[in-house]
Amino acid sequence: MNLVHPSPISSARLGLFVAALLAACSGEGADSTALDSTALDSTAIADLEARADRLVAAGVPGVAVAVIAGDQTVLIARGVADRATGEPMTPDHRFRVASVAKSLVASVVLQLADEGELALSDTVEDWLPGMLRENADATLEDLLRLQSGIFSYDRDERHMAPYFAGDFEYRWTPEGLVGLAAEHPALFRPGEQFDYSNTNYVLLGLIIQKSTGRPLADVVRERITEPLGMSTAEMAMGSEMTAPYARGYMLGLAEEPLDVTAISASSVFGNGNLVATVRDTAVFYGALVRGEVVSGAQLPQMFRPDPAVAGTHYGMGVWRFDDDGIQPCGSFVGHDGAAPGYDGTSFSTLDGARQYAVFTNTLAPGDVVGDEAAQQAYRELVVAAACN
């Protein structure tokens, strides 16, 4: 079972979100058409609050929601951040937002390419000689698009073994993560197919560090989170998080939800180690689509899935959906994220009119928030945040 990383957004999962749209649009206050106005009126806000309540009633400990529409910011929190103490969830609580990190890492790579510090045609071997036995000729663009064919290290059972044994503070090195992947055959030649391998972004993190001579966390802070005023966001490297944060719970491993908050972020270096509030996550995607993070010349390429690879919705560090899937009410870019004890998603409309983030502090086997009732309530909340 994959406890740390989000699985690719499958066609089945997309179908479930489309079904959720029908349910969301049948509710009071929901709009069954594409966004006519980005602002949320009081009825739409009350509808979001009611859907968040239903998600908690379905067994999710807590949830936080942010919707930004121009000058309007709507923040909603329900449930608890800590089951043991009963501490209420608030919009100020941080989450492990997992693979949202890929969007920030991709943004830094594209910035460095703009500055001439590296090129997307550079290979892994150019920057990290000898690290891979196969597919070392994968380019940085292959890595960004998850098309390198390199095995995903988290599919090796040794990756989670220390944490299953109870050593949540066990620290992986990025080189150790790549080493796990390098012991497995490549899946295909670079650029031929799409495969959601987290090793791609570990490699990109290492390349950023080599290019800049700085730790990845510092580079992301200096280039992205500080300039955007994302004061709660950090690329965590260990078990610690800055308070206030939501504790994360895994379902299906014991009779009661298991507190796995402290599983070390070193296990997801470069591909899933971002910690942030829902507001700061939504702020990032708004700035990204407005050209405040990556140059306007790079954005079309970043947001465009590779037309040579059939069926992919993935650009460079972002998913792209057009009137389908998770947000069937327009064109959106963003990312989902699942980590032990946390699950959620954050996207922006392509025109920058609306951003949203929805994160919970629970995860069940299959990278879902809970049982079928919880999954349905979650889907309906996400669709409402995107489309109401």
Options 11, 99, 121, 197, the catalytic residue: 99
C-alpha to C-alpha distance for 54 and 307, rounded to whole angstroms: 40
Helices marked H in 121-198? 124-127, 140-144, 161-164, 174-182
86: region left, alpha or beta (phi > 0 left; psi from -120 to 50 alpha):
left
Dist. CA 367–CA 193, nearest whole Å? 23
Q: Please give the structure tokens belonging to residue 16.
A: 């479930």
| 99 has catalytic annotation | yes
Q: Is residue 375 classed as helix, strand or coil in its secondary structure?
A: helix
Three-state DSSP state, 84: coil
DSSP character string of 112-138:
HHHTTS--TT-BHHHHSTTS-SS-TT-
* DSSP-derived secondary structure for 277-306: -HHHHHHHHHHHHTTSSS-TTTHHHHHS--
What residues are annotated to the active site?
99
